[in-house]
Each structure stands twice: as C-alpha cells, then as structure tokens.
C-alpha cells in the first residue's frame, strides 16, 4: 500500500506546484503594464483638440483635413505592424526577445483596430459613405508624398554622388542617344536636272504639246500652224 501512495503523492506535488506557479505567473502578467509600441498619436490629439474647439469652432474643411492626416498616420502604423510582426514572432520563437516586446506589439494591434473603427465612424459623420474610402485615399496620399520627397531630393542626391565619386553627372540632353544612318541607306540626290514646268495661266496646268502630222511627200513632221501650211502650198505650185 505504501508503494502505491508514494508515486501518487509525488505526481500530486509536482502537478500542484506547476498549477500554483502558472496561476501566480498569469496573474502577474495580466497586471503588468507594457510600454507602448508606438509613440503618442499626435494626429489623433490634433483632431480631438480641433473637434473640442468651440470659440470659434473649427471649420468642416479643417476638421476633414485633420481626419485625413489621422488616417494617414494609422495607415503607416498598420504597414509597420505588418512588417514587424513576422520578424518579432521568429525572434520570440528563437528566444532572442522577451514576452514584453511581443505583448506590446499585440496591445498596439488591438488599439489600432479600435482607432480604425473610430476614424471610419468620424468620416461617416461628415459624409455618409466616406468611411469606406478614407483609408484608400490616405494610402494614395502617402505614396504621393513619398514620390514628391524623392523628386525634391534629386538635386541633393546628385550633388552628393558627384562629390563622392568625383564625376559630374551628364545633362539630360547629352544623355539622349543619337541614331546614326549608314551611308548606304542615306537618300541620294538625283544628278539629272529637272526642267521647270510652266503652268498654264488659265487652269494652272501644263499646256498640251502641239499635234504633229506627217507630210504627204515624206518630208517629215511639221507643226500644224498657219505659217507652215502656206509654205507647203507654195512648194506644190
């Protein structure tokens, strides 16, 4: 009987200790406050401040602009969470980071979901149905701002590259390739001179050539003119 009670008591002690440890650990973890994953949401604070302004109240155009800026900040946070979450999950599985950073990311994800729902509700309060398109609009505005920043920094980057490599960048006109035509394919100018055509005064066309007829005595062709007919009659006589 004693040989059966010893293993049972051992199992009860081990599992009881594990249960007590997990209970207190979960209770401590639930009461722990994790640091924020993102800094303070300045765009949200600005919108709330403008919304609460009453003397004088903010205009609808200003409120809509502040709401769009708030949506743009939310889109940037969503993109960052999508990039950071798989990497942090890998690091957590390898033991490279602690649970604090992972739990902070999960809390930021939950807060961002609530923030998105609040922005959609605020957009619909201005114009019905605007909440469905405010985030795609904010995404397009972020892409436009990135392109404009790159375009504005082009002279600065060019000067930096010229200073680093000691080579002056070519102008855009000199970089255009010139297409050379071989001599065999070049059009050649005709050597035979062309006789100018005298246009007709009446209709602008070339006058027709006089008709030629053969003489009866085989002396060749002469022009059909009154003067030639008179000489011909004299010769026959």
CA angle at residue 105 from 103 to 106, to 5 degrees?
65
DSSP character at residue 213? E
Distance CA 98, CA 109 (A): 18
Query: Which residue stretches of the chain have pLDDT < 70?
Result: 1-2, 29-34, 169-237
pLDDT single digits (tens) 132-179: 999 999 999 999 999 999 999 998 888 888 888 887 766 544 444 545
Q: For residue range 18-32, list pLDDT tens digits in order.
A: 888 887 777 776 566
Can you give the pTM of this predicted structure? 0.57
Mean pLDDT of the chain: 76
Task: Please report, rounded to a whole number, the percentage of residues in the chain having pLDDT higher than 70.
Answer: 68
């Amino acid at each position: 009987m004693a040989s059966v009670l010893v293993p049972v008591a051992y199992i009860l002690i081990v599992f009881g200790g594990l249960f007590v440890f997990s209970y207190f650990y979960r209770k401590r973890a639930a009461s722990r406050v994790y640091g924020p994953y993102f800094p303070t949401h300045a765009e949200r604070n600005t919108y709330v401040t403008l919304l609460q302004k009453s003397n004088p109240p903010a205009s609808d155009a200003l409120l809509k602009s502040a709401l769009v800026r708030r949506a743009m900040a939310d889109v940037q946070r969503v993109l960052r969470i999508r990039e950071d979450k798989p990497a942090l999950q890998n690091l957590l599985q390898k033991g490279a980071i602690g649970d604090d950073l992972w739990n902070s990311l999960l809390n930021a994800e939950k807060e961002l979901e609530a923030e998105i729902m609040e922005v959609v509700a605020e957009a619909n309060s201005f114009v019905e149905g605007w909440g469905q398109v405010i985030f795609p609009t904010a995404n397009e505005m972020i892409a436009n701002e990135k392109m404009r920043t790159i375009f504005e920094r082009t002279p600065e980057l060019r000067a930096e590259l010229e200073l680093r490599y000691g080579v002056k960048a070519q102008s855009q006109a000199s970089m255009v390739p010139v297409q050379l035509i071989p001599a065999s394919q070049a059009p050649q100018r005709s050597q035979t001179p062309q006789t100018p055509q005298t246009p007709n005064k009446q209709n602008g066309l070339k006058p027709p050539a006089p008709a030629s007829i053969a003489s009866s005595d085989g002396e060749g062709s002469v022009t059909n003119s009154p003067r030639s007919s008179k000489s011909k009659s004299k010769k026959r006589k």
